[in-house]
Amino acid sequence: PLSVPPVQLLTVCSVFQFKPILLGTADPRSEMASYRRVTNSQKCVRAGGKHNDLEDVGRDLTHHTFFEMLGNWSFGDYFKEEACRMAWSLLTEHYGIPADRLYVSYFAGDAASGLPADEETRQIWLDIGVPPRRLLPFGLKENFWEMGDSGPCGPCTEIHYDHIGGRDAATLVVFQSVHVTREVDQSLLLLPQFSVDTGMGLERLVNILQGKRSNYDTDLFTPLLHAIHQISRVRPYSGRTGAADVGKVDMAYRVVADHIRTLSVCIADGIHPGMSGAELVLRRILRRAVRFCVEVLQTPQGALASLVPTEVVIGTLMFFPQVTDIINENEAHFLSSLQQGSRLILRTLNSVDYKHGVFPASVAWSLHRDLGFPLDLVDLMLEERGVQVDRQELDRLITETPVMLDVLSLAELQRLGVPHTDDGLKYQYRLEQGRYVFPACHATV
């Protein structure tokens, strides 16, 4: 009975389907209204809009475009204290994770918006036995959870796992205590019942429980990395990261392993690569994957889709035969553009137009507009060659081009000075005579 409201681009966590319960607006006759304690495993894609982890994927060892969020919820049932105690006991007693590897963060308050520090949560953690030096206060951005400009919100507290004993910590569990809602005029109202939303990334948990250095060294990914090696003409995966490895073999393995999972679950759930909204996000992911396959891993055409039937993609995720057909068709579509584009980049770098590490915007623009390269892929390909695009000129070209449909990232919107909200859907824009038109919210700026 649960479905994602149509305003949501892609599911980034499980809160959306439960919004009516949080707000107390669920139909009292519905099954949903009777929920008190819920657990779920939610497919999440964070590759566009407000939650966009695409740029981190492949560069680090903990972010994926698709991951499984293990959620548990209290709707007017247990609150902060029980949530913290149950989670601590699950991690340290049942899973046996050493407590001295765990750090906890809580909301430090925000004077500007008049929000007090979450002292209650701090005290709960101290009572549980977390030493003060591993209990860290953070501000609005890190530890105050909001769904959007308005709606349910509240302070959150997070448990981080330190991989190397030197604060190399990745967030493992997040608890949101949802007891207030922000009105459109920004005032805060107490909700009819207090709730808790707890989310933990499966891939990061498996990483810790299997004692690995990286999510990619767990059995969620190793069979896939092995399968990629079989179809490639390069050395096996060796786990290197860092600036010097951007765009190189190990990053390519991670990107392709990540992206094929995302492509498979999205296509199986009915989203096909396309030209707007979630479909455009998928098109970007597919083109990024094809490019890493062909140019870095030196795989033959069709290799990407051949990964779908691997044990991991079929075994742990959903699979439908048409997934491979859709990936193959889209790959074939992009391959000749990819060859032309790569040649164009090389030719430009060897030509007189190219000076001092600044790549001409007109060429970058033509890669995007004429050959269908996602702009983030153009940036990445140039970064790999140690050059940057003439950003100012490229922004001018983007602004002046008459019609275009794309999804801008928050960073791009900020750079262009476009007023924006935190709702991912509104980033989708069309340019008409130099003005941005956001169809979803009927706004023009």
Taking CB atoms, the residue at the shortest distance from ligand ATP is 201
Site string for ligand ATP, 153-192 (x = CB under 6 A): -----------------xxxxx------------------
Give the dihedral of Cα atoms 222, 225, 227, 231; nearest 10 deg: -170
Minimum distance from CB of 95 to ligand ATP (Å)?
A: 14
What is the spatial distance between Cα 116 and Cα 246, in angstroms, rounded to a whole number? 42
Q: Which residues in 33-52 contact ligand ATP (CB under 6 A)?
A: 46
Give 345-348 contacts, CB < 8 A, sequence gap 24+.
345/381, 345/382, 345/385
Whether the Cβ atoms of residue 326 and residue 260 lie closer than 8 Å to each other: no
Whether the Cβ atoms of residue 265 and residue 317 lie closer than 8 Å to each other: yes
Residue 298 binds to ligand ATP (criterion: CB under 6 A)? no
Q: Which residues in 321-350 contact ligand ATP (CB under 6 A)?
A: none
Site string for ligand ATP, 198-237 (x = CB under 6 A): -xxx-xx---------------------------------
Among 43, 64, 163, 283, binds ligand ATP (CB under 6 A): 64
Minimum distance from CB of 203 to ligand ATP (Å)?
A: 5
- Each residue of 212-241: b (16+ CB within 10 Å) or e? bebbbbbebbbbbbebbeebbebeebeeeb
* Number of residues in contact with ligand ATP under rule CB under 6 A: 16
Range in contact with ligand ATP (rule: CB under 6 A) among 102-110, 197-205, 272-280, 399-407: 197-205
* Residue 26 or 224 with smaller CB distance to ligand ATP: 224
Range in contact with ligand ATP (rule: CB under 6 A) among 59-67, 218-226, 340-348, 401-409: 59-67
Instruction: Compute the C-alpha angle 333/336/337, nearest 5°.
Output: 85
Among 63, 182, 288, 426, binds ligand ATP (CB under 6 A): 63
Burial class (CB in 10 A: 0-12, 13-18, 19+), 315: exposed
Contacts of 233 (CB under 8 A, 6+ apart): 297, 298, 299
Whether the Cβ atoms of residue 290 and residue 335 lie closer than 8 Å to each other: yes
**For binding to ligand ATP (CB under 6 A), which residues are involved?**
46, 53, 63-64, 67, 69, 170-174, 199-201, 203-204
